[in-house]
């Protein structure tokens, strides 16, 4: 079974989410952000007046996400980057007194996706040293923070992009398989109640027959084994394997014990 591969052409809700990096100093961070985006299924990257771009270091850090980098749009201002957006979030670790309402990353992802139903939406990230200015933050409808250690809460820019894109992916595709895969799901159906009951009867018989379980002093052996196999949620194939094993043990017991004397020596071992 081929599971769905999410891409722009498949009409993913993530197609309407753009990542805006404001005044980035280090081209390596731009490349790493592109890679972070692509791994989570985002592709639209806008750069506001980057210090160095294009740049070989950006290409190197983008690894397989060179396409995201190649399509990156350069804008002169935040207003230009957000011109056609219906909703924008300023991503910042810092609380701003006059800023828009703050949201933690997970809650923000849900809201961003809901807003993406109505049009283009943006996540805006700041410069590595200065972060976002108050003016930039005030251009947005929400401030988004990544919950972090209070005494050291500033992530690397591309790491912050990764966390937000990851949360967006979780929110967008909750319940879907984590990666596209051509693996065939394992086919054996779960064992029925009766198959399980017959297995336990068989197991008990072999345990008693082998002397492992003394029916006069059963202790809590059977309930414990029931709990163990219960956790495994046995499938029909697995029950068949276990019962085959028990059959083999029983056959071994049924074989006549070899006599100490008079065993014909065939000359082979
Ligand atoms: N010294 C800057 C931090 C720059 S880190 C400051 O005080 O703002 C570069 C960018 O990464 C930030 O502008 C922000 O967009 C993002 N970032 C880093 N850590 C973050 C966090 N804990 N929560 C939200 N965004 C964060």
216 with 103, same domain?
Answer: no
CA-based radius of gyration for the chain? 31
141 with 243, same domain?
Answer: no
Q: How big is the CA angle at 151 (ends 148 and 156), to the nearest 5 degrees?
A: 55
Reduced to 3 states (helix: H, G, I; strand: E, B; else coil), residue 186 is coil
65 with 152, same domain?
Answer: yes
Supply the pLDDT for residue 262.
45
Tell which one of 129, 149, 155 to mutate to probe ligand 1, the residue whose CB is within 8 A of the most ligand atoms. Answer: 155
63 with 18, same domain?
Answer: yes
Asked if residue 149 is part of any domain, the answer here is yes
Identify the domain containing residue 233 by its residue range: 193-254
The domain total for the chain is 2
Element holding 160 (H helix, E strand)? helix 157-172
Residue 91 Cβ inside 6 Å of ligand 1? The answer reads yes
90 with 214, same domain?
Answer: no
Residue 96 Cβ inside 6 Å of ligand 1? The answer reads no
Asked if residue 121 is part of any domain, the answer here is yes
33 with 77, same domain?
Answer: yes
Residue among 13, 56, 59 nearest 33 (CA): 59
Supply the pLDDT for residue 233.
87
143 with 212, same domain?
Answer: no
| Cβ–Cβ < 8 Å for 91, 120 | no
Residue 36 Cβ inside 6 Å of ligand 1? The answer reads no
| Cβ–Cβ < 8 Å for 229, 197 | no
200 with 166, same domain?
Answer: no
Supply the pLDDT for residue 113.
95
Asked if residue 181 is part of any domain, the answer here is no
123 with 244, same domain?
Answer: no
| Cα(168) to centroid(ligand 1), Å | 18
Residues of the chain with pLDDT under 70: 1-10, 177-187, 258-269
Asked if residue 43 is part of any domain, the answer here is yes
138 with 209, same domain?
Answer: no
CATH at 203: 1.10.8.590
58 with 26, same domain?
Answer: yes
Q: What is the pLDDT of residues 197-256, one digit of tens each?
A: 999 999 999 999 999 999 999 888 988 999 999 888 889 999 999 999 999 999 988 887
Q: Which residues pair with 45 in a beta bridge?
A: 19
């Amino acid at each position: 079974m081929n599971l769905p591969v999410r891409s722009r052409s498949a009409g993913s809700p993530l197609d309407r989410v753009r990542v805006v990096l404001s005044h980035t100093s280090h081209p390596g961070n731009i490349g790493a952000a592109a890679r972070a985006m692509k791994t989570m299924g985002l592709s639209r990257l806008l750069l506001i007046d980057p210090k160095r771009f294009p740049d070989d270091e950006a290409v190197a850090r983008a690894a397989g996400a060179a396409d995201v980098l190649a399509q990156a749009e350069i804008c002169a201002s935040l207003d230009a980057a957000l011109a056609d957006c219906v909703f924008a979030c300023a991503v910042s670790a810092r609380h701003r007194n006059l800023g828009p309402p703050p949201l933690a990353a997970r809650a923000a992802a849900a809201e961003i996706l809901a807003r993406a139903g109505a049009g283009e939406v943006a996540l805006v990230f700041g410069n590595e040293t200065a972060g976002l200015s108050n003016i930039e933050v005030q251009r947005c409808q929400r401030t988004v923070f990544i919950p972090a250690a209070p005494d050291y809460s500033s992530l690397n820019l591309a790491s912050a992009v990764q966390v937000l894109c990851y949360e967006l992916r979780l929110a967008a595709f909750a319940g879907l398989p984590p990666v596209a895969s051509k693996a065939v799901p394992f086919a054996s159906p779960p064992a029925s109640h009766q198959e399980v009951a017959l297995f336990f009867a068989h197991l008990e018989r072999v345990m008693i027959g082998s002397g492992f379980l003394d029916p006069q002093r059963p202790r809590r052996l059977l309930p414990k084994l029931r709990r163990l196999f219960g956790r495994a949620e046995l499938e029909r194939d697995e029950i068949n394997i276990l019962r085959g094993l028990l059959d083999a043990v029983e056959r071994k017991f049924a074989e006549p014990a070899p006599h100490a004397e008079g065993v014909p020596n065939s000359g082979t071992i």
